[in-house]
Amino acid sequence: MKNFLKFKKTAIISLLLILCLVLSSFVFATGETDENSNKVKNVILMIPDGMTIAHTTLARWYQGGEPLAMDELACGLVRTYSANNPITDSAPAGTAYATGYKTQNRYLSIFPEISSMPGVGQVEEKDFYKPIVTILEAAKKSGKSTGLVVTCQFPHATPAAFASHSDNRNDYENIAEQMVYNRVDVVFGGGWKYIGKNSRKDKEDLVSYLKQNGFEVTNSWEVAKNYYGSKIWGLFAQDYMHYDIDRNGTGEPSLAEMTQKALQILSKNRNGFFLMVEGSEIDWASHANDPVGVVSDVLAFDRAVKVALDFAKSRNDTAVIIAPDHTNGGMTLGNYSASADSVLLNNFLKYIRKATRTGAGVEEILGNNRTDENIKKVVSKYYGIDNLTQDEINAIKNAPAGRLNYVLGPMISKRSYIGWTSNDHTGEEVVLYAYHPNGYVPHGVIDNTEVCDYMAEIMGIDLGSFNENAYISNADLEEKGYDVFIDTGNPYNIQLVINSKGKTYTIPQNKNVLIEGNKQYTLKYVSVYIPGAKKFFVSSEVEDLLK
């Protein structure tokens, strides 16, 4: 009897195992388990602005050859061209990551009217300049928390691409207002002057608006790092923050510290979050051909990468994508004065390791005291250079305000056998790095728009459905028979005015509100005015409110 029961038990177990195998084979064939296992709650996109392979190589040598935190994640290359140019600027590059669409240089998350690059489809004329819903906006509308962590001023091109829409990336005040009304949950970086009532041309009190909507708003890192709520804007400089190596004594936090705090706050949301972290000033150092700034901020960015990776690896619901938006400067380790046999590692690193400030930091120290002797003294102390020529001294003395790094950077580069081809962006591919808890990452050479597609896929967000009926234009409303005009009487507060059934409706630019008499309605999307085209785009549910 015991043997029979043992046989029966064994048979049942065997049948169950066979059944499980059949079921698992069926599920694998349908792809359902794989598809679900690829979904994550949280996505951290990290953008080292302007970073090239030469940047990372130099940063590795600077820290003794030790690998960077991002090295283990390298998995492919990203093509960076914009809709109208082989060399992108940060606005369309950020737009591609934010929306999955290419646009033209200077534009932020709107459709282009010029699509001249191979493989970029032409947009219908009626959709020229139309705002494109970003992955940050879609994530927020899906119940997730959202964050932007940068070292530049927050309405600068890359962060702006995720939370605003404009045909002019330099229109900081209007961009800032859109970003505020988009109510991004966590914003850390610079740019206090763009939300302060007294420093804005339109005198909008964006600080009060944020506070009235439950945000902590501060310019103090001490306040921010001790905040344990869920919504905060911490802007730690009036404009942009310092390079990392210049930050001691300023009270400004590091990119890693801001990233750590943002993750602490955003991870409270059970629905998950989307966070974009930018190493903003890698790009600026490259524009200036300043290798000290490059090393400073590549390593600062990499420390933030480690924070993000440690967070992601401590759980199973978070993906990290690291992708520069473009290359910059044409930096090379080796120039026309270098040969493979004559230049040793110390020749590259000697002066960069001696430097304790970037050119921008030295400019602050020099101030207006640009005598020959003081220039020699300061450059010797902070750069270890004791052999300045008179021509170099004169160049330092005559450097325009805010441009001394464009003088000192090349001096360091020349002494370090580092070559540069440009003070601007270049058009090569960039390295893609990615971490997914199940190893589901892109490989090969992909387009920058595919980075957004990948993020949307793993978060389970259908960006197409968000864009399908998000915006209508003033022309659309006119075609439907509404009496519409754009009121430009106050250039700092342009409004769309709609007359319908004896009532007047007003929609101010950059806000997500519709006003009718004493009534105010909150709209799904911020309103966008494109001055050059005289186009005003509003959230599509406006039409329902007019009926």
Task: Quick: pLDDT tens for 217-266.
Answer: 999 999 999 999 999 999 999 999 999 999 999 999 999 999 999 999 99
- Cα separation, 278 vs 61, in Å, equals 23
DSSP string for residues in 325-387: S-EETT-EE--TT--TTT--HHHHHHHHHH--S-HHHHHHHHTT---HHHHHHHHHHHH----
| Whether residues 325 and 367 fall in one domain | no
Q: Is position 11 within any domain?
A: no
Q: What does the pLDDT look like over 34-78, one tens digit per residue?
A: 567 899 999 999 999 999 999 999 999 999 999 999 999 999 999
Give the per-residue pLDDT at 341. 80
Q: Is position 127 within any domain?
A: yes
Whichever domain contains 379, its CATH number is 1.10.60
Give the per-residue pLDDT at 31. 37
- Cα separation, 129 vs 167, in Å, equals 7
Cβ contact 376:357 at 8 Å: no
Cβ contact 167:530 at 8 Å: yes
Whichever domain contains 177, its CATH number is 3.40.720.10
- Cα separation, 232 vs 222, in Å, equals 13
Global pTM value = 0.93
**Closest-CA residue to 531 (of 9, 114, 174):** 174
Q: Is position 15 within any domain?
A: no
Total domains, the chain: 3
Domain boundary pick from 416, 438, 457: 416
526 is in which domain, residue-wise?
471-546
Residues of the chain scoring pLDDT < 50: 1-33
Domain boundary pick from 416, 437, 457: 416
Q: Is position 337 within any domain?
A: no
Q: What does the pLDDT look like over 357-416, one tens digit per residue?
A: 999 999 999 999 999 999 999 999 999 999 999 999 999 999 999 999 999 999 999 999
Q: What beta strand segments (E) does 191-253 contain?
A: 216-218, 232-235
| Whether residues 464 and 505 fall in one domain | no
Torsion (CA) 87, 93, 95, 99 in degrees, nearest 10: 110
| Whether residues 126 and 199 fall in one domain | yes
Q: Is position 12 within any domain?
A: no
| Whether residues 407 and 458 fall in one domain | no
- Cα separation, 532 vs 494, in Å, equals 13
Q: What beta strand segments (E) does 420-459 contain?
A: 425-426, 430-435, 444-447
Give the per-residue pLDDT at 35. 62
- Cα separation, 540 vs 544, in Å, equals 8
| Whether residues 171 and 314 fall in one domain | yes
Catalytic residue among 14, 25, 90, 296: 90
Structure-block tokens of residue 349? 């690193």
Q: Is position 1 within any domain?
A: no
| Whether residues 213 and 271 fall in one domain | yes
| Whether residues 299 and 363 fall in one domain | no
Cβ contact 46:75 at 8 Å: no
What secondary structure letter does DSSP report for 316?
S
Q: Is position 343 within any domain?
A: no
Give the per-residue pLDDT at 22. 39
| Whether residues 375 and 247 fall in one domain | no
| Whether residues 411 and 430 fall in one domain | no
Q: Is position 22 within any domain?
A: no
Whichever domain contains 539, its CATH number is 3.30.457.10
| Whether residues 161 and 246 fall in one domain | yes
**Which residues pair with residue 43 across a beta bridge?**
274, 319
| Whether residues 207 and 59 fall in one domain | yes
Q: Would you call 90 a catalytic residue per the annotation?
A: yes
Three-state DSSP class for residue 132: coil
Q: What beta strand segments (E) does 192-333 contain?
A: 216-218, 232-235, 273-279, 318-322, 327-328, 332-333
| Whether residues 67 and 168 fall in one domain | yes
